[in-house]
Amino acid sequence: MEPQPYETPLVELALVSSWLAFQWEHGMSDGLADLLAVFSASPLTHLEVVGLCAPVSAETWATVFRMFPSLVSLDAGAEAEGALFAGLREAESESACMESVAWGDCTEAGSRIPACRGLERISVTPYSGLSQTPEQILEPLIHCLRYRAERGIRVKQLYLDLNMRIDGVKRYLPQLEDLVSNVKVKCRRTS
């Protein structure tokens, strides 16, 4: 069962490369820079990024997540590797904490809390059919989810459609299920 998109996203954007576009992987950073320049003032709630994201640094991803604090849903191509999740982990929002000091959510004024506090759903799907190891995707994802959970911010739904064998993924399942209430995993490789 694949996750369903939200019925009424405020702003939904898909940044997708064309299979015909040569050297797209080198343009993903430029595409994200354009995304930030054009949509930084938008209340983006759903972001879909499909393409080879490996050349994009964790710092760039952190900037994306800081600029879109209203994200509820994130769909990422599997070739995002760990930088996307490292960026989500590193993205902190001082302004969000300053606003919530009055509610007792922060221990002190100016302390930082993870950005995208309302992020409920993450979906990772294959893009190019490239095979990756579980370590390239799952370890940074678990590190990110654990960091957020330790701060009281949990993702509710995680959908992983991976181009790898289930044998390599099984050892990560207990950790994922401990951090996310609804985990669905599909592995495409049989050998």
pLDDT above 60 (res 87)? yes
pLDDT band with cut points at 50, 70 and 90 for residue 73: very high
Measured CA to CA, the distance from residue 134 to residue 111 in angstroms comes to: 33
pLDDT in tens, 96-155: 454 444 444 555 444 568 999 999 999 988 766 566 778 888 999 999 999 999 999 999
- Give residue 29's pLDDT: 79
Instruction: Answer whether 176's CB lies under 8 Å from 142's CB.
Output: yes
Enclosing H/E stretch for 114:
strand 113-114
pTM for this structure?
0.79
Q: How many of the other CB atoms lie within 10 Å of CB of 8?
A: 7
